[in-house]
Structure 1
């Protein structure tokens, strides 16, 4: 599972572009047997079973002076394109979940891109593959400038809830290592599997 996620992350992180290239094949993100075919050149990995719908909405965590709002939306046919001089362009498409967030600590807004129109799927995304009980992807903690892996698990509750789990040991520091020697936690986004309730 980790290997599949790492391959997917590598592919997505290479280059996402708006240029449209032809779809040469189609696979289902729901079909576990097709998961290794998702990265094939020209393939479109589709959410054929509407698995992303269960995550769409505005989710809230509000505890201990921390307000964390997570907006999850669907984005179809996001292109992942890898270009290198002297080599054939490799590309594929995925149906993704796009994440935006607002973080408020002690009534001070730390970061807020909830209503921005400019979406960067490489920075904050998740995908639901096969029969896994969770969606997984990457999120960019903009205040600490760290990109981390996460999972989102939908709970069978009323009201609707999710567990958002920002992984403790799978991250990429964007700044020079000296930036992080300030005695602050690595992430400003809450960690340790926080429970969030759907508010919209």
Structure 2
């Protein structure tokens, strides 16, 4: 896996931090997931079982999960821009600082590709930042997916790879999380007329 691809994955995660439209952010994460899946399929050439697993993973990550989130977006149209989403520059500065710190501090831990540890750390940190600073539920779900893509990248670049059963288990876990997030987002929109989770702070017993 080339360094260019590794940092393209990170750049896509950064773009999610500043993306204004949920559909654009979903497309960015879909591209990120497809790139990872394509890399997995390339590495599995000659291994029929590994190729099948990689194909299932790329379809689920690059098509299925983004499709689920797009379905949520279609059913939860925002009447106006979410007020708590206006500080684009602040989000970008925070994300770049967090990625820089993670890339500088992460030690080597046995990944085969040069720079892979830094890219993995950057994706994990970006996922956390997205989930923490973006208010719409769909963006928070995308943060989980970006962080999970970081874990998947670590699995692809570790010596010997990871067993197919573990890849499918990780996929199942993220599918459950995103399904719950989709239902949660739809319910919030039904009650408040928006998917802005900051409104939940106004709830009292």
TM-score, reference length from structure 2: 0.24
**Higher helix proportion, which one?**
2
* Structure with the higher fraction of residues in strand conformation: 1
TM-score (normalizing by structure 1): 0.24
